[in-house]
Amino acid sequence: MSTTAVATTTNGNASASVKLPIYMDNHATTPVDPRVLEAMLPYFKNHFGNAASRNHQFGWEAEQAVEKAREQIAKLVGASAKEMIFTSGATESDNLAIKGVAEMYREKGNHIITAATEHKAVLDTCKRLEKNGYRVTYLPVGADGLVSLDDLKRAIDDKTILVTIMYANNEIGVLQPVAEIGKICHEKGVLFHSDAVQAIGKVPVNVIKDNIDLMSITAHKIYGPKGVGALYVRRKNPRVQITAQIDGGGHERGMRSGTLNVPGIVGLGAACEIAMNDMPEESKRLAYLRDKLRKKLEDNLDEIHINGTMEHRLPGNLNMSFVYVEGESLLMGINDIAVSSGSACTSATLEPSYVLKALGLGDDVAHSSIRFGIGRFNTEAEVDYVADKLIDTVKKLRELSPLYEMVKEGIDLKKIQWAAEGH
């Protein structure tokens, strides 16, 4: 897969060698950190016991490893180890939190509030509940990608049982005012769930300070393995109860049955510990690389803009629209760079991203968007290569675009009446 290419950085004299293809889609998934893999390996070979086997050493070793991971994850987010329930990943955690609360608190009410820009794991779960007689309010977001706290206050009524709003958006990297949202929920006696998959390990997250009652976590966005995640469930002030969605041997304090994925859980724990130790330095470095990429693009191209607020944003995220260029053609032009156009989880469709549409962007702008996810293993040389390649590709594609030419001549495209082709 890898071939080495030499890219010359824009100052002309320094050249750095970069391996192609370059991976810059770290919001979709991340490579497993070698330190995480090292922690996991013994649990495939020598320590292969079932964590639920209570009567021999193999089981005890596995259980010990699981409990250590629980501590590592809890420490990263300011929770206690007993509040962590292991799942197969964020989609399951979202489903368990939302359906689990909906079922458990059905007698109290049937109203759930979420945002239009949530991940599909939340939106589709809410749509399923609507079919079962629940009411769901989908809050709009502003052009900056943020929900309005006033809208939220107005939406809560005496039948509201849950508010579910993500910590950081997977496409535009925007950080919601989570602590304020949680405070409003607690004042109104409503539970607050946050899908914090993109935020954990990248920005400081603390379930107590952030007033979070339930929170979804996954390993593969923080340099851990795929197929393992966790759900934080608050034990006091308030004590949260959820109805299990998978029944069996009553594992995970009755909330999620199934043999635990011990190597995966060990990997999630190790990934959390590494993130905790490296976060301050890593966030600074990622923000520096992101800002460098943004500046190079803005200095060399016109008609480009950033989607979502830059002020409240993940350090490694840049979502930009290159107007008058089709996103798909742009991706083909930079086929040695892994980035995404539209949403990672639904990129099989050519519909413009629903997140960008929710920001009020037109189809043309939404279609021309690229999401850069800069991560732990990206280098400055890669950022230079990506910027140069993009600038070059966008310029070439615009030379072929009659629309871009018209705009440069000062024609207002909105005022043009396009003639239908005659038959």
What would the mean pLDDT of 247-260 be, rounded to a whole number?
A: 96
Burial 386-405 (b: 16+ CB within 10 A, else e): bbbbbbebbeebbeeeeebe
In a domain, 418, yes or no: no
Can you give the three-state secondary structure of 235-280, one letter per residue?
CCCCCCCCCCCCCCCCCHHHCCCCCCCHHHHHHHHHHHHHHHHHHH
Binned at pLDDT 50, 70 and 90, residue 14 comes out as: very low
Whole-number Å distance between alpha carbons of 82 and 85: 8
Using a 10 angstrom Cβ sphere, with 0-12 exposed, 13-18 middle and 19 or more buried, the burial of residue 16 is middle
Whole-number Å distance between alpha carbons of 190 and 159: 9
| CATH number of the domain where residue 203 is located | 3.40.640.10
Range of the domain at 7: 3-32+279-409
Residues 6+ apart with CB under 8 A from 404: 303, 324, 398
Q: Determine the pLDDT at residue 327.
A: 81
Q: Are residues 392 and 258 in the same domain?
A: no
R_g of the chain, CA atoms, integer Å = 23
| CATH number of the domain where residue 7 is located | 3.90.1150.10
Binned at pLDDT 50, 70 and 90, residue 13 comes out as: very low
Q: Are residues 267 and 319 in the same domain?
A: no
Give bridge partners of residue 304 from the DSSP assignment: 322
Cα separation values, 372 from 53, 138, 273, 289, 292, Å: 44, 27, 25, 11, 12
Q: Are residues 70 and 153 in the same domain?
A: yes
Cα separation values, 289 from 28, 59, 377, Å: 19, 45, 12
Task: Tell me the per-residue pLDDT of 319-345, one tens digit each, with 9 for 90 and over.
Answer: 999 999 988 889 999 999 999 986 334
Q: Are residues 28 and 38 in the same domain?
A: no
Q: Are residues 188 and 201 in the same domain?
A: yes
Provide, rounded to the nearest whole percent, the portion of the chain with pLDDT above 90. 84
Give the predicted TM-score (pTM) of the model. Answer: 0.93
Q: Which of 151-160, 196-205, 343-352, 376-385 comes out lowest in average pLDDT?
A: 343-352
Q: Choose the final residue of a domain: 274, 297, 320.
A: 274
In a domain, 414, yes or no: no
Q: Determine the pLDDT at residue 422.
A: 59
Q: Are residues 47 and 20 in the same domain?
A: no
Number of domains in the chain: 2
Q: Determine the pLDDT at residue 403.
A: 86
What would the mean pLDDT of 402-414 be, rounded to a whole number?
A: 86
Q: Is 345 a catalytic residue?
A: yes
Q: Determine the pLDDT at residue 100.
A: 98
Provide, rounded to the nearest whole percent, the portion of the chain with pLDDT above 70. 93
Q: Which amino acid is at 346?
A: T
Question: One of 126, 185, 272, 345 is an active-site residue; which one?
Answer: 345
Q: Determine the pLDDT at residue 181.
A: 98
Q: Are residues 238 and 334 in the same domain?
A: no
